[in-house]
Amino acid sequence: MQPPRPGSLHTTRPASLARMAALALAVLPGLAAASPAFASGSALAPGSSVAAAAGPAVERVALASPAGLRLSGTITGGSGPVAGAVVTACPTPTPATSVPVACKGGITTAAGSWAITGLAPGRYVVRVAPPATAGTSAAAGYVGASGYVAARSTARAVEVATDRSGLDLSLPAGRVIAGTVTTADGRPVRDAFVEACAADAPPGVACTGTYSAADGVFAVGGLGQGAYTVGAQAPTGSGLASGYLANGGIAAAASAARRIEAGSTGVAITLPRGRSVRGAVSLEKSGPAANGQVLVQACADAACVYGPAGWTDEDGRFTIPGLGSGTWTLAYALPSTTTHAGGYRGDGGYAPSLATAARITVAGSDVNGLDVTLPLAAARLEGTVTGAGAPLRGGVVVACAAGGTCFWTRTAQRDGAFALALPSAGPWTVGIRAPGTYTVGLPLAWTAGMVVPVDPVAMDGYLGAGGFTPAAANAASVVVGAPDRARPVVTVRAPKPNATKVATSTRVVVRFSEPVTGVTARSVVLRDAATRKPVPATVTYDAASRTATLSPAASLAKGRRYQVALTATIADYAGNRLAPTTWTFTTKR
């Protein structure tokens, strides 16, 4: 269950550290959530948007984030200082914005001291996660009104207006969730990563995990009192499916997990055999995606936060193994290109947003033939980023559309420059996150999505109307190019409207004025004009030629009039919908 490789793709919550660690090692862009933001209004000079001939619209911005504030303290337990604990500060309330919000954090030293820097003024929930070993003497928990509390719901919001020290916390004894991980035939599973996530916290924000031993036994320690959801990530190459412990077995989505009380033992996790999805990725006008050029990710949850993934090979083909039964969304990330846009698989091919993505059902067998063509970028946001007066190297620039789909890229290590390919022109909300590195020394305590900043002095934030703003409510929209307001239209219809003596073996072919999404057997329908009964048929869509083809399952009746109907669920990449279209033709006798 890996998270997406950045460079593209939306995410609304962080993935588990185990998954993030693998991506961090691969140097993946959008996952490093941690600081800075944007620029003075003067950076957005009038006329800076340029539409290049036969190329994407380009908007240039300079983004500048000021230095942030510092929060520090000491963590102790029953036996003295707690070393190696992850301390996080998460903004509260969660901003109502599509740009992902990142917690900031640090790790306690041997003396139990910690510091978090680069914070914007505001209120934060502070959590501590000690090492996850079963015998730990300290429990994960939060800063409460008068000290430690186990539940997020009873945590105290810490006000940060200036640098603040002395935020000390004494942790009680930790609890454990223990059990075994086995296959369906009872064989122990070694090196499965088992995570326990606090049930009262936002999904993926308060998790602790460890690996199973050779006999399949696991023990996640350092837990505070309360209920947790438990998930297991199958070892790479095992052929098993990862998932969450649910009523009746393993569920692919975290939302289906059941709650386990801290202190529970004998928790049995049975991992079923995993299935694979396969397909090929092409780039418009460039052919098959090169080896390692595109990461294809399968997401089980509705927000498409994380999931198993696979890279394209030299022929543009990919395989994603280890999927459990359920429905999945496929997302495509291009971490190092400014020529083509990432996105999702929709009905009939590419979809530019999560709202138009299709759900793929995985059951008792592998799913093959999931091919897609990714389009040339319609727009590009580029510029430079500074943090606390210096180039922000390895930061993350995030651009989000009104519907909540986000794309991102890293700033260059040399000078903080960035270039971000986008699937459509129009308004984008832009945010910045400082560079960070994940705590990858597992098995240790970790908090999902925890980022330990490497260059943590600058704030996270947004591009506002007057320059940088740390407040999501004050974020402004950057208009890249001229928004596309034109509906797609049908340019070719075969058979032609009112055609007669049409062969009973005919196929219906429709060509559109521009690339579209949503072409399926539900949006391209052939009916008997007299009875209104639909004709059983398959519908395919070729993105390169913008052509939909309806192939009847059997020959049409002789001398009958048929109606072709196209619905408004067909839309272009900017979301403009096709006007409902119908015409008729008559077969020969």
For the stretch 12-46, what's the b/e string if a residue is b when 16 or more beta carbons lie within 10 angstroms of its beta carbon? Answer: bbbbbbbbbbbbbeeebbbbbbbbbbbbeeebbee
Residues 210 and 162 placed together within one structural domain of the fold: no
Tell me how far the alpha carbon of residue 223 is from its chain's centroid.
27
Q: Is residue 228 part of a domain?
A: yes
Query: How confident is the model over 280-322, as pLDDT tens digits?
Result: 999 988 999 999 899 898 988 765 655 788 999 999 999 999 8
Q: What's the domain count of the chain?
A: 4
Residue 6 in any domain: the answer is no
The residue from 215, 250, 271 where one domain ends is 271
The residue from 256, 271, 286 where one domain ends is 271
Q: Which of 210, 244, 271 is the last residue of a domain?
A: 271
Provide the whole-model pTM: 0.74
282 has which bridge partners?
288, 373
Whether residue 440 is found in the same domain as residue 504 = no
270 pLDDT band (50/70/90 cuts)?
Answer: very high
Amino acid 403: pLDDT:
67
Instruction: Evaluate whether 579 touches 566 at the Cβ level (below 8 Å).
Output: no
Looking at residue 505, which CATH number applies to its domain? Answer: 2.60.40.1220
CB neighbourhood size of 225 (10 A): 16
Residue 317 falls inside a structural domain: yes
Q: How far apart are CA 447 and CA 149, in angstroms?
A: 17
Compute CA distances 359 → 289, 302, 328, 347, 556, whole Å.
Answer: 23, 9, 5, 9, 31
Q: SS3 for 141?
A: strand
Asked, for residue 5, whether it belongs to a domain, the answer is no
Do 205 and 249 fall into the same domain? yes
For residues 50-56, average pLDDT? 47
Q: Residue 47 falls within a domain, yes or no?
A: yes
- 58 plus 155 within the same structural domain: yes
Reported as a single tens digit per residue, the pLDDT across 110-142 is 999 999 888 889 899 999 988 876 556 799 999
Least confident segment among 10-14, 68-72, 146-150, 429-433: 10-14
Does residue 51 share a domain with residue 167?
yes
Q: Do 348 and 317 share a structural domain?
A: yes
* CATH of residue 226: 2.60.40.1120
Q: 488's torsion region: left (phi>0), alpha (psi -120 to 50) or beta?
A: beta
Overall average pLDDT of the 139-162 stretch: 93
pLDDT of 43 strictly over 80: no
Same-domain pairing of 452 and 349: no
Q: Are residues 350 and 321 in the same domain?
A: yes
* 135, 86: one domain: yes
Give the pLDDT score at 102: 65
- The Cα diameter of the chain in Å comes to 92
pLDDT surpassing 70 at residue 453? no
Strands 326-333 and 343-346: antiparallel
What is the residue-averaged pLDDT of the chain?
A: 80
- Rounded Cα distance between 345 and 347, Å, is 7
pLDDT for the residue numbered 385? 86
Instruction: Flag the least confident range among 62-76, 340-354, 390-404, 525-539.
Output: 390-404
pLDDT reported for residue 202: 65
Q: By three-state DSSP, how is residue 42 classified?
A: helix
- 33 and 157 in a common domain: yes
Residue type, 46: P
**What is residue 132's predicted lDDT score, i.e. its pLDDT?**
74
Instruction: Determine, yes or no, domain membership for 11.
Output: no
Domain that holds residue 538: 490-587
DSSP designation for 234: P
DSSP letter (8 states) at residue 117: E
pLDDT of residue 6: 28
Both 151 and 91 in one domain: the answer is yes
Do 163 and 130 share a structural domain?
yes
**Residue 41 reports pLDDT greater than 60:** no
Which band of pLDDT confidence, cut at 50, 70 and 90, is reported for residue 4? very low
Q: Give domain status of residue 12, yes or no.
A: no
Does position 17 have pLDDT exceeding 50, yes or no? no
pLDDT average, residue stretch 500-505: 96
Q: Is 362 helix (H, G, I), strand (E, B) or coil?
A: strand
- Whether 352 is covered by a domain: the verdict is yes
CA-to-CA distance for 582 and 336, rounded, in angstroms?
A: 43
The neighbouring-strand residues paired with 452 are 437
Contact (Cβ atoms closer than 8 angstroms) between residue 355 and residue 389: no
